[in-house]
A and B are shown apart, each in its own frame.
Chain A
Amino acid sequence: MSDTRKVTIKAFRFNAETDYLPYYKQYEMEVGKDELILDLLNRIKWEHDGSFSYRRSCRHGICGACAIKVNGRATLACKQNAIELLDLFNNELVFEPSSKKRVVKDMIIDKKDFWDKHAAVQPYVVADIDPHPEHETKQSIADFNKFLDSDLCIQCGACHYSCPALEANSDFLGPAALNAAYRFTIDTRDEAGKERLELTAEPGVGVWDCVKCFECAEACPKDINPIEKITKLHNMQFEQGVAVSNVATRHAEGFVRSIKKHGFLDEADIVVYSEGYLGMYKHLKTAMKMMKAGKIHWNDGLPWVDNVPKSKNLDEIQKLIEISQTNKL
C-alpha cells in the first residue's frame, strides 16, 4: 500500500473587497500519513495558488489562529492529522472558514464579536493587590484544579463559531466567553465573582440561552468541555444567591417540585410554574392543539387535579431529595 493518498480538497474562496459571491475551488494532492490540515493549507498556497489566505502562527496548538471548519467540523488546523479526517469523511475534504458570514478573505474571519464577548466577562483576575506584597498569594492545589482545564482555552473560536444559540441570538455570550467567566469566577484570588455571575445570569445574554446541544464540547481542540462549565455557572448562580426568579430559573427548580410529587416531571405543571398563570397565554394555542391530539388533557396543570403517573417507591425519591438537595431558588 502506498504511503500517500490522492485527495481532492474543496476550499471556500471569497475576498470581501472584490467578490460578490463566495465560490469553492478544487485542489488535488497526495497526502501523507503525518501531514496536518495546516500542511494542506500551506500546500494549497505554496503549490497551487499564492492568493489563498488563512491565519497561522505557532504550529503548536497554542496561539489559536488556525481554527477553520473541515466538513463542518471545527478543526484546529495545526493539531489535526489529515488522514484521520479523510477516514472520518470518506476521503472528501471541504475547507471552510469558522464562520462564513464573517469572512474577510478565504479562511480569515473577523472575530470582533468573539473578542467583544470575551472582554465583557472581564477575563482576568480582578483583585485589589498590595503593590508591595511581603508574601505570595497562595492557592491550594484543589482550588487551582477547579479552573485548570478551563484555563487551557486558546481563544481559537472553535466552540464560539459552532454554537447554534449564538447564530440565532447575537447577544448570547457563547461558550468561550462563558468558559472564561467560569475560569475567573471560581478563582479564589478574584473579587469580581458576583458581578461576573450576574452577567452570566442575564436572560438573553447568559447561560440560560445555552441550547444544550454539546457542539462546543465536540468542537474544543483543547478538550475543555465548555458546556460543563456552563452547567457549573448555572449551579453557582443558585449557590451564591445570584439566581433571580424568572421563567428559566423556575423551569430548572420546578423539576424538583415535580419529581417530589410524582417521581416524573409534570409536563403541564412545569410550564405553568415557569411561566406563571399570566404567562400561559403564549402557550394557549399550542396547548389547544396538543389537547386535540390527546397529548394533554383539559385539566392538566390545575393545582387540584393530578393526572401525572407516579413512580413506584415514590417515598424513596422523596427521601433522597430531602437528604441530597443542596441548592435553593
Chain B
Amino acid sequence: MSTLKYALFTGCTAKQSTPELLSSTLAVAKKLGIEITILEEASCCGASHLQDFDEFLAHVLNARNICYAEKLGLTMITICNTCQLNSAMTKHALDTDPELKARVNEKLAEVGLEYKGTSEIKHFLYCLIDEYGLENIKDKVEVPLSHLNIAPFYGCHNIRPSELHHTSNGGENPYNPTSLDQLIDALEGHPVDYDHKNKCCGFHVELQANHTSEILAGNAMVDAIDNNADIMVTPCPLCHLKMDTYQDDIGKVIGRDVELPVLHMPQMVALALGCTPKEIGLNYHVQKATHLTA
C-alpha cells in the first residue's frame, strides 16, 4: 500500500481542552505509517455558532482553511465532527454556487488566496476505515480490546445530513450507522448495541439551554450503561467534552449516577495498536478510565 498523506485540520479543542485527541491521532498515524501535515494556518471552523451570527464570514474563513490543504494537494482530514460538518458545508456551498464562490474568492484574493475546490474533506475515522482499511488495521493490533464492551457514539455531524456526507463517510446510514462498530470489531472489542448511538449529545446548547443539553447527554449515557458498556467511544471531541466533563450535572438532571469513561476514537485505536494509557493522554479525562488494560 502506498503511503497515505493527509493535511490535518486540528480544530480548536484538540489544541486546547482535549490535547489527548491530537496526540493520540498523531500516535495512530505514526503506528500505521500515515503521513500527516498539520494545517497550522487554519482558523476555527465557526462550530455552527459563527454561522448563526454571520454565515458569509464563516464561509470565507472555512474556505481559507481549505485553501491551505489545496496548496499541499492533499485531502483535508478532520478529527472533530463539527469541524467536518462546517468545512464540508462551505465546500458544498462554494462548489455548487458559482456566485457565492466568486464573492468568497474576491475576499480571499485580498490575502493572496484562491479557493478552487480541489481538496476532499474527510473525517479521520473514515480515512482509517475506507482508505487504510479495516483488514490492514486488524493486522496491526497488538493489544486486542477483547476485555471491553465499547459503546460507539457516532455524533450528529459525521452522519447528518446524509446527503452532504455520503461521499466522504462511506454512505453511512444515519439511522443505522456501522463504521465505529466495525472499527471496534476490528480491534477485537465488543461493540455495544444501543438505541442512542446515533443521537445528539446536546453540546451545542450547553450554555443557553442547559437542561436540554443534560437530558440529551444523559439519555445516551444511561442507554449505553444499561447495555453493559465499560467505556464509550466517539469521533467527536465536542461529544467527548459534553459527556466526559459534565457527568455530575447530567446525573443530577437524569436522576441517576452516570459514570462512564468516554474515549476519543483515535485513543481507542492507539490503545489497540500498543500505545500506553499515558501515551494517549488518558490523564486529561475528567472521568478516568481505570480498567482499560486487561
Binding site for B on A (CB under 8 A): 71-73, 88-89, 164-165, 168-169, 172, 203-204, 207-215, 217-218, 225, 231-232, 234-235, 238, 246-249, 251-253, 255-256, 258-259, 263-265, 267, 271, 274-275, 282, 285-286, 289-290, 292-296, 308-309, 311-313, 316-317, 319-321, 323-327, 329
Contacts and interface: CB of A to CB of B under 8 A. Distances in A.
B259 to A, nearest CB: 13
B213 to A, nearest CB: 8
B204 A212 contact: yes
Interface in B242-294: 245-246, 248-249, 283-286
Nearest to A279: B207
12 contacts: A71-B176, A169-B211, A203-B209, A209-B208, A231-B52, A232-B55, A234-B52, A238-B54, A263-B43, A275-B207, A290-B286, A309-B15
Given A267-B13, A320-B60, A259 B208 contact: no
Given A264-B15, A312-B40, A235 B55 contact: yes
Given A88-B176, A267-B16, A213 B156 contact: yes
B212 interface: yes
Contact of B53 (A73, A210, A319, A329): A329
A231 to B, nearest CB: 6
A295 B174 contact: no
B207 A271 contact: yes
Given A88-B176, A168-B212, A225-B161, A247 B207 contact: yes
A274 to B, nearest CB: 5
A248 B57 CA distance: 19
B47 to A, nearest CB: 7
B175 A88 contact: yes
Contact of A238 (B53, B60, B215): B53
A175 B262 CA distance: 30
B102 interface: no
A290 B286 CA distance: 6
A321 B57 contact: yes
Nearest to A87: B173
B107 A323 contact: yes
Contacts of A210: 205
Contact of B56 (A225, A253, A274, A326): A326
B143 interface: no
Interface in B194-224: 195, 199-200, 202, 204-205, 207-213, 215-216
A256 B157 contact: no
Interface size range of chain B in the complex: 35 or more
B50 interface: yes
A323 B56 CA distance: 11
A255 B50 contact: yes
Contacts of B101: none
Contacts of A319: 110-111
A218 B108 CA distance: 33
A231 B16 contact: no
B226 interface: no
B231 interface: no
Contacts of A213: 156, 160, 199-200
Contacts of B50: 252, 255-256, 259
Nearest to B85: A214
A215 to B, nearest CB: 7
